Amino acid sequence: MKKISVLALAALMPVCGAIAGPGKTMNNGMMNNNQPAVWTVTEVMSLPDDTPVVMRGYITKNMGNDIFVFEDDSGTIMLEIDEEDWNGNTVRVDDIVTVYGNVDKGSNYTEIDVNSIVK
């Protein structure tokens, strides 16, 4: 039985590395130092739908209907932020924020469905 578990775990290791992305080493969604892996906009664009992500940057524009523009050094992406996901934060365009969410891919878009924001 232990051999089967070890083989199953070994088979999954390449998949975990692929999800972690280039230069990211993850363990249960955490970096080796127990900090969440922080993704750039460029990296997020190539991730599969529903991948959990943490991003650090700026919310630069309110597009209306809970859609906001997020920017980091690598580019921009749209965020969908529901009222409760702000956690009482008031964010200005020059505030650095950490965004926790999931990749939402459609046929012609990629955005982040935000779960929470930390200022």
Instruction: Please report, for the chain, the start and end positions of each structural domain, with discontinuous segments joined by +.
Output: 1-35, 37-118
pLDDT digits 0-9 by tens, 9-42: 444 444 444 445 544 544 445 455 566 799 999 9
What is the C-alpha to C-alpha distance for residues 57 and 55, in angstroms, rounded to an integer?
Answer: 7
pLDDT digits 0-9 by tens, 42-92: 999 999 999 999 999 999 999 999 999 999 999 999 999 999 999 999 999
pTM summary value:
0.72
Determine the length of the chain.
Answer: 119
| CATH superfamily membership of 37-118 | Bacterial OB-fold (2.40.50.200)
Radius of gyration of the chain from its Cα atoms, rounded to whole angstroms: 16
